[in-house]
Chain A
């Protein structure tokens, strides 16, 4: 079995604050996890959960209070290892006096590439992120979405083995988000390892082999999106049309959209509900199973974390 692309062991980050920095706020607490080679790994959590802190620690932008991490078998303190890593920071900002082509060429110079190779890669990347027509415009005139594209281009410019993206969909319109999704899938097809943070759960669900859920600085679950959530059926959903004003008790539990109603019932009450609806003249359009989604799993964790926080506050008082 090959070594994991990213190994994190008991990674902790505390920030001192207050007078003389005597108090400490824990941003990340004892994070341990692995990202396998060739996987697309989604790091999900609400704002302030510790996603960006983890990524900044991995990239050596901040230093851990405790714990360690390795990327491609090398410690994160080894700067040379960055030659095999691509990184897109959250809300990236570049030298605004440079054009997109210049900024990419600048970053390419830190890798051992020939001038011809640099030019070729810059051209290819600008085409890939849809910026070839804006290549000669200074970045100060770029929109947030365009800067995000430049950020993505510089992250994959040098053909890295591991790509770490901090909120790559942020600031992008639906077309841009679709393009980023395609690029991530393309990277996976090329055998690259991709780790990206997001709070858009549908992106994680559709793109990731595995996800890690982080809430309040602690990792609350790691695994394939399907295995993380409880897969048992939560109930049955009946979609039906009903015209007129028939007196059906179940209607009070249904959600109405135009002439269509959506009703969720326990699995064992399905047939009784259908009979009652048909008796009232309803036209059944569809019946489907309702299963837990990653979103529900995520929301349960967030709510539990908030409840715990509230309990601590109450006991503190």
Chain B
């Protein structure tokens, strides 16, 4: 575990020294600032517009970082052969993967926190004060972070056995499919044969359910997110990430390096 921590801190340090990341965060903050301008011409629904646009900006930038950096976590180390020296130290491949995952999630947490701060400042600018009900925005940001952690785990899994381009495509595909899990589960049984119906139901439970993490509408309208949902989403993300990372470790432990 200590060794995974060493890898995680180095992954975080790499991200901190990467200028592209700052550009993305700056872009997100710019979008949040722009939402203030848009909010001012949306009479009566300023907060709704600012929160919706702000959370969308945080989510999109986080998605870009988690997919592209998530895939690069392993593939870059293999392409540049930095992994050779590292795996010659007393480090298990599973510890390396866990460290890379934790390092990028830490990076995302810091970035998301910075962007959330920007959003809160934008809300403060418009409303001149923040209320207790505004904490729902923080819950929405927390859910975005959980979603991003899941995406990082998936990107890491795919990059363990395929090329970076295919890993990106697989991750994006799975993310897109994960947004419609509920629809898949509720497909009308009349139009399908019983085996097909059973298959889609089974598939809907296997796919990552990203829909559950979307509470943007609740946040935009200041509605309270139930504590049970926070607990359920946290547990779901932890269990799903554990399963995906275990699969990634199993694949990567057998992989011949170039």
Contact = CB atoms under 8 A, between A and B. Distances in A.
Given A56-B257, A62-B257, A93 B89 contact: no
B17 interface: yes
B6 A92 contact: no
A111 B89 CA distance: 8
Contacts of B14: 95, 97
Interface of B: 3, 6, 10, 13-14, 17-18, 80-82, 84-92, 254, 256-257
A95 B10 contact: yes
B85 A62 contact: no
Contact of B90 (A63, A79, A92): A79
A155 B254 CA distance: 25
A128 interface: no
A56 B83 CA distance: 12
7 contacts: A61-B257, A62-B256, A85-B88, A93-B82, A95-B14, A95-B82, A97-B13
A110 interface: yes
A292 B138 CA distance: 79
Contact of A63 (B3, B80, B92, B254): B254
Nearest to A109: B6
A91 B85 CA distance: 11
A83 interface: yes
Contact of B17 (A81, A93, A97): A97
Contacts, number: 66
Contacts of A59: 84, 87-88
A212 interface: no
A81 B87 CA distance: 12
Nearest to B3: A110
B85 A82 contact: no
Contacts of A93: 80-82
Most buried by A among B13, B82, B84: B84
Interface size class of A (residues with CB under 8 A): 20 to 34
A154 B256 CA distance: 23
A83 B84 contact: no
A280 to B, nearest CB: 61
B89 A107 contact: yes
Contacts of A79: 90-92
Interface of A: prevailing SS: loop
A298 interface: no
A63 B256 contact: yes
B85 A151 contact: yes
Q: Which of B13, B18, B89 has the most CB of A within 10 A?
A: B89
A92 B86 CA distance: 11
Contact of A110 (B6, B17, B84): B6
A269 interface: no
Given A62-B256, A63-B254, A97-B14, A110 B85 contact: no
A228 B245 CA distance: 51
B90 A154 contact: no
Interface string A70-110: 00000000011111010101011111011000000011011
Given A59-B87, A110-B6, 16 more contacts: A56-B257, A62-B256, A82-B90, A87-B85, A89-B88, A92-B85, A93-B81, A95-B10, A95-B82, A97-B13, A97-B18, A107-B85, A110-B3, A110-B89, A151-B85, A154-B85
Contacts of B257: 56, 61-62
B81 A111 contact: no
Contacts of B256: 61-63
A111 B14 CA distance: 21
A110 B91 contact: yes
A60 interface: yes
Interface in A133-159: 151, 154
Contacts of B18: 97
Task: Please name the 5 residue pairs, one residue from A and one from B, whose CB atoms are nearest each other, closest first.
Answer: A87-B88, A110-B89, A89-B84, A62-B256, A82-B90
A155 B6 CA distance: 18
Given A62-B257, A106-B6, A80 B85 contact: no
Nearest to A57: B256
A61 B6 contact: no
B251 to A, nearest CB: 13
Contacts of B82: 93-95
Contact of A80 (B17, B84, B90): B90
Nearest to B14: A97
A5 B182 CA distance: 60
A89 B85 contact: yes
Contacts of B254: 63
Nearest to A13: B256
A61 B81 CA distance: 11
Contacts of A60: 87
A111 B257 CA distance: 23
Contacts of B84: 56, 59, 61, 87, 89, 92
Contacts of A80: 90
A243 to B, nearest CB: 59
Of A61, A85, A98, the most chain B CB neighbours within 10 A belong to A61
A273 B211 CA distance: 95
A195 B149 CA distance: 43
A111 B17 contact: no
Interface string A284-296: 0000000000000
